[in-house]
Chain A
Amino acid sequence: MTTLHLLGERDLVIDEERAVVRHEFERIYYRTWPDVFRYALTLLRHREDAEDVTAEAFRRALESWDSGHGPQGDALPWIFLITRRIAIDRIRRRRLIGWIPLERTPEPADTAEEAAFVRSEVWIWFEQLCRVLPAQQREALLLRFQFDLCDADAAKVMGTSAANVRTKVSRGLATLRQRPEVLDR
């Protein structure tokens, strides 16, 4: 058996391993996509932006995954972390675009689908929630109760301590207890 032959077989093994690893990511992708979209939506409060950010988050996650920088534990907090960074970057740019008159192209109007979503009962309720709860308390509550992350994972996503997450959750719950009409139907 020649050296070239051996090298060829090694390449085949590497290809097969890569396919297995890719398949694992694909499985995570379909399993976590709805939650990642929900999370992006609650951060950005714009459905089409949330779709863009979700797609970009998975694209970057796949790059990291391929280069051996995948999650060390559960994949969801890891993808949330990537999503959060992209969303923050987008919010930051949105704020800057707001006052930098670089090239004055009018912002495109919302699509009919987006407009219908904004008028939906659940979204009107969510906007009310946003007025009642500061963003970080809201985020901590959703990470803990909507996505069922533990304090430590929520803290990793938010870039803070678990104690800080507990404080934000506690304050958020206290606010909601004082404003029961927000959660009443």
Chain B
Amino acid sequence: MSDRIDKSLHDDHVVAQQLKARMRELDPYIPPAPPFRRIEGPVTGSPAGLPREVAPRLRPNFGAPLALVGVAVVVVLVVGSGLVGRRQDLGPAVSSSPTATGSVAVPTPTVPVSTPTVPVSTPTVPVSTPTHPPASASPGSQVLLTGPVQHVAWSPGGTKIAVVEGASGGPSSVLIIGVDGTTIRTVNALDLAWIDDSSYVTIAGNPPGIIVGHVGSSAAEMMPGNVSGFILAGPTGDMALTLSETGSNHYMVWGAAGLSDPRDGVPVAFSPDGALLAVVHYPRACCAGLPSPAPTTAPGPTTLDIVRADTGESVRVTADVSWGYGALVSFSPDGRLVAFRMDAKDQESLERVGVLDVASGKVWIVDAGTVWSLAWTDDSHLLILSQSPATSTPAGLPVTISYAPQDVDEVAVSSRGDVAMPRHDASQVVIDRAGTQETIDLPGTRHDLTWSPDGSALIAICADNTSQTPDEVVLIRP
């Protein structure tokens, strides 16, 4: 027994040394450290000839924004958790934080333009056979398509799936398929959002434009607008379309009343009833002409604005939202609360989650570690996916918080309340139904999950461990 343990330890030591030796072969490819001054930033001379001072660097400054938008900071004493509602057994609960911030409502600027519609010939390409033949999969799942895929969108009735094909940055098209994988139509477009099960809005790339199309018809209408290709779909057929402009961000809302005037900001999330829209405002003075925002160098305030979707009227504004492509903003199922990722300026190793009460403007702050994802499982439960769960459920927060298991890198909650969690680095997804868990094997890792509207099926986009672009669309019926 002792010999076996000794041998095992020896083997481990040998393996560790071999690993270390192989890793040392990377050394010739390690570039030298750049001069320290480059890290420090610009340097100014000291008038007294004394040790130099580092000039002020552009840095995310949420102190000034707070003053600029008039946000009052209120320190709340911890008087007890006061938590209500149930907590699913998905991970350890967190303790409490005493800090909360208030917020104020400010108007959102709008840019009026006329938006007549113009009938055009259809840009769609009807096809009758699948582009990618369905492949076999393990029980409970079915590979619908293989090939480069960006994302999918279920039709509101769950009868069709729009698959945006193509690698990132390259040409793309949208494949409309049935739930059995049969191709219904290929649309030459950058993105698609459903109005209902037979009508949709697409962003065309060439020529650029917004097009309303129909599954069973070649009729289509084009609307003016230089749209960048990003559609945020709402729950009731409404959608927000971002406009391509240099040095600013504007969007329009498509709804029953037609197309709205352009509004300022970047739309990030609709409320569950579609009445409210979360919009991020961030300064672009530093980023004009660049294809992406530069959140770490953008001066001035970055704010989260909750607006009425129909009019654009601002309902509530709060600061400190962490902005980038990965803005995490999520309305609670009743639309009363908005959870969003915040920057923890004083602790670079931490991120925070803010929970905004839309009616009162109060913001609770949760020290949440490294946040990957946020999801509301029901009216009383906020699920935070964090690589390093930290502390603190703020006192008085009218929801409970738990963390997803650490081997999970995404969560998706269905309309039935089922929680899908792909396991990190494993070709598996775990479906949690009120505490009962089912594990389903998948053909790859790096999943993006999208539940069908009725919560009966789940689409997972998979990739192998090395591919840059996901390349398998898998239908799961738990």
Contact = CB atoms under 8 A, between A and B. Distances in A.
Interface of A: 12, 15-16, 18-19, 22, 26, 29-30, 33-34, 37-38, 41, 47, 51, 55-56, 58-64, 66-67, 69, 78, 81-82, 84-85, 88-89, 92-93, 95-107, 117, 120-123, 125-127, 130-131, 134-136, 141-142, 144-146, 158-160, 164, 173, 176-177, 183
A84 B387 CA distance: 10
Contact of A122 (B18, B22, B36, B389): B22
A56 B296 contact: yes
B180 interface: no
B217 interface: no
Contacts of A81: 348-349
B407 A131 contact: no
A84 B351 CA distance: 12
Contact of B39 (A58, A66, A92, A135): A58
Given A103-B291, A146-B20, A120 B448 contact: no
Given A82-B348, A122-B29, A183-B19, 13 more contacts: A15-B51, A16-B51, A55-B34, A60-B348, A64-B348, A66-B54, A97-B168, A102-B325, A104-B229, A130-B466, A144-B16, A158-B388, A164-B406
Nearest to B347: A69
Contacts of A89: 324, 326
Interface string B343-381: 000111101000000000000000001101000000000
Given A93-B324, A173-B16, A26 B164 contact: no
Contacts of A59: 39, 41, 57
A121 B168 CA distance: 28
Interface in B1-43: 11-12, 15-20, 22-23, 25-27, 29-31, 33-34, 36, 38-41
Contact of A85 (B11, B29, B229, B370): B370
A15 B53 contact: yes
Contacts of A51: 31
Nearest to B30: A34
B190 interface: yes
A131 to B, nearest CB: 6
A62 B39 contact: yes
Contact of B448 (A38, A99, A142): A99
B44 interface: no
B170 A106 contact: yes
Contact of B29 (A55, A117, A142, A176): A117
B191 interface: yes
B15 A160 contact: no
B150 interface: yes
B465 A130 contact: yes
A146 B168 contact: no
B79 interface: no
Contact of B424 (A38, A100, A135): A135
Contacts of A122: 22, 25-26, 29
A117 B20 CA distance: 19
A62 B40 contact: yes
Contacts of B347: 64, 69
A140 B33 CA distance: 25
Given A99-B168, A146-B23, A135 B425 contact: yes
Contacts of A123: 26, 29
B172 interface: yes
A142 B169 contact: no
B50 interface: yes
Contacts of A125: 22, 25
Contacts of A33: 33
Contacts of A177: 11-12, 15
15 contacts: A19-B51, A22-B54, A38-B30, A62-B40, A63-B59, A69-B348, A88-B370, A95-B446, A100-B230, A101-B190, A101-B203, A121-B25, A135-B424, A145-B19, A173-B16
